[in-house]
Amino acid sequence: MYKHGYNLKKQNPFSKYRGIIRKKGLHYFMKKCAYVYLFPPYWRYFKKNKKFAFKDETLYYFYHPYNHAYINERTIEIPLILSFIRKYTFGAKILEIGNVLSHYIETDWDILDKFEEQDNVINKDIVDFKPAEKYDLIVSISTMEHVGFDEAVKDNKKILASILHIKKNCLKKEGKFVFTVPIGWNKNLDNILKRDAIDFSEVYYFKRISWNNDWRLSAKGDVLKTKFAKPCIGANGIVLGVVSDE
């Protein structure tokens, strides 16, 4: 599934970084450059084979230059989600909500994304999506926090409504919806998690514990009080939740 060198897009950084300096200042720019340009060689020599434990598995941290996956939460989100996908045999019906994994690996499952136009991507809002055949597994990486939030008219009820819709209308009996979300991006979602408003069958909280992007399983309260990291290293905490139709 993972192919080394997949989607190595060349990006011209100059016009992008000029805009960053104008908007956020030289200090922000210098700190970002340190992570973007100095961290990759550090990873290759010191962190390439570094692992972390999850349930009964030992997983490798994920490295990819696309969107600097090695310095943000993607480094742990991707191996976590792939650990669930690997448990499903050939022929299982899988859906990804939010077109994320296809930027990093070759995918062979259905992808639903409201905005991103790409071959084999279904452009529909999740609350309007009713598949002809339900799915054994539905996965999502850092997408649910945008539901009802990154829209012209914000809707704080849409996240819970979408999860209920997925469970009722998209999952097979005993199917699983597995998703990750960052802490600190959407305060409404953070509050939903604090009050345990989502009926998880499993839930795990992870916290970034070092400058070089190491993570560990942590207590819910400890993770939910973290802030979104700056300047360019994403979230300092994530949640992995499993919703089952049992």
Pairwise pLDDT comparison (129 vs 23), residue with the higher score = 129
The answer to whether residue 71 is domain-embedded is: yes
Question: Which pLDDT band, with edges at 50, 70 and 90, does 149 fall under?
Answer: confident
SS3 102: helix
Average pLDDT, the chain: 87
Report pLDDT for 199.
93
Question: Is residue 167 a part of any domain in this protein?
Answer: yes
Q: What is the total count of domains within the chain?
A: 1
User: What is the number of alpha carbons within 13 Å of residue 80 lying toward its C-beta?
Assistant: 29
Measure the CA–CA gap between 198 and 23, rounded to whole angstroms: 37
Q: Which pLDDT belongs to residue 231?
A: 63
Which residue range forms the structural domain that includes residue 30? 13-244
- CATH number of the domain to which 195 belongs: 3.40.50
Q: pLDDT tens-digit profile of 75-92?
A: 999 999 999 999 987 789
The answer to whether position 2 is within a domain reads no
- Specify if 8 maps to a domain: no
Query: Is 207 among the domain residues?
Result: yes
pLDDT, one tens digit per residue, over 5-17 is: 455 555 555 666 6
pLDDT of residue 4: 45
Please report whether residue 1 resides in a domain: no
pLDDT in tens, 167-197: 999 999 999 999 999 999 999 999 999 999 9
Whether 35 is in a domain gets the answer yes
Asked whether residue 6 is assigned to any structural domain, the reply reads no
Secondary structure (3-state) at 238: strand
Question: What confidence score (pLDDT) does residue 5 get?
Answer: 47
- pLDDT (mean) for 42-51: 81
Please name the residue ranges forming H helices in the chain: 13-24, 26-33, 39-42, 74-85, 158-169, 187-194, 220-224
